[in-house]
Structure 1
């Protein structure tokens, strides 16, 4: 094993990384601006996969000398175009949308856990309790609903919030 190459191989590799990395980064930022906010929205697992794939592609462009800048830029554009096509078709086709996106799941209603929904979502009672504690609640009794969102986050609607919302809606 050549220990010196582990830490430094050549100045040309460093210069290549700086030049190609800067150009690839600028290209990615411009491409994301053109493609719109939805490309990195992370609304669901599919969006997260695209975000990770973009990062992985950028890293490959930066560090792999066998990938030319033009090839890497093509890969970035391809991922963005595919994301755009999937969202475009999803908006127009409910069946396609259901196939590529997950729906939010109601895990708790009126203080009662929905065991079957929790089982399908692979959420344990202990995890649900942790989510509720993290939100500042003391227990299930004051919770109107807990929803596992499409992006994997949890939404908690407590009964007091719902009453306040209903009262403010009635007052308008």
Structure 2
């Protein structure tokens, strides 16, 4: 039972000191990397965010990992994310590899079953997105698209004035 609740004051002081300094490093790195790092996440961004959290926790709790090593690991993760996102903005195949492409799931009254199966989306989820967009019936929907961030975009059927509107609905189980 010795050390179960408290080892010594030095361990606590180390945790507070390293935690504060690691937090300052993380915030500084995130600010330097730009707004894209903190934007709405796709699957790639989620992985980097989880890795950053894991790295931060390791710096705090593992006395075998120095602050310098942890800061370098965080800088490396953020730097790699910056390179990938910078490249994906400029190179189409990299963008498709990292973020994927939107999937058309419903088009003018028809559920596109093969696209829904490939995206692992049910008809009930599409109908739910339509309701969340404030549309009463599928007859009033031109299209439903599953976006690369996991949200649904619902496009209303054109109105008599020739208007069309777009509503984005978040997907709760999206990465």
Q: TM-score, normalised by structure 2?
A: 0.82
Task: Name the Cα RMSD after superposition.
Answer: 2.2
- Checking the alignment, whether the CA contact within 8 Å between 2:157 and 2:164 is kept in structure 1 is no
**Structural mapping, 1:100-139, within 5 Å:** 100-139=98-137
Q: Secondary structure at the match of 2:71?
A: helix
Report the Cα distance in structure 2 between the residues aligned to 1:99 and 1:108, rounded to whole angstroms.
24
Q: Secondary structure at the match of 2:37?
A: helix
- State the 1:90 CA deviation: 1.8
Q: Which runs of 5+ in 2 are unaligned?
A: 166-175
- Deviation >6 Å, runs of 4+: none
Equivalent residue, structure 2, for 1:156: 154
Q: Deviations over 1:119-150 (max 9, x none)?
A: 11011112222323333333322222211111
Q: Deviations over 1:22-64 (max 9, x none)?
A: 1111111111111101122244211121121112211211122
Aligned residue pairs total: 164
Q: Which runs of 5+ in 1 are unaligned?
A: 167-172
| Aligned match for 2:10, one of 12, 21, 27 | 12
Structure 1 residue 92 and structure 2 residue 90: aligned?
Answer: yes
Q: Secondary structure at the match of 2:65?
A: coil
- Checking the alignment, whether the CA contact within 8 Å between 1:44 and 1:102 is kept in structure 2 is no
- Checking the alignment, whether the CA contact within 8 Å between 1:106 and 1:117 is kept in structure 2 is yes
Q: TM-score, normalised by structure 1?
A: 0.84
- Checking the alignment, whether the CA contact within 8 Å between 2:109 and 2:139 is kept in structure 1 is yes
Report the Cα distance in structure 2 between the residues aligned to 1:11 and 1:72, rounded to whole angstroms.
22
Report the Cα distance in structure 1 between the residues aligned to 2:6 and 2:156, rounded to whole angstroms.
57
Q: Which has the higher helix share?
A: 1
- State the 1:163 CA deviation: 4.8
Equivalent residue, structure 1, for 2:69: 71
Equivalent residue, structure 1, for 2:170: none
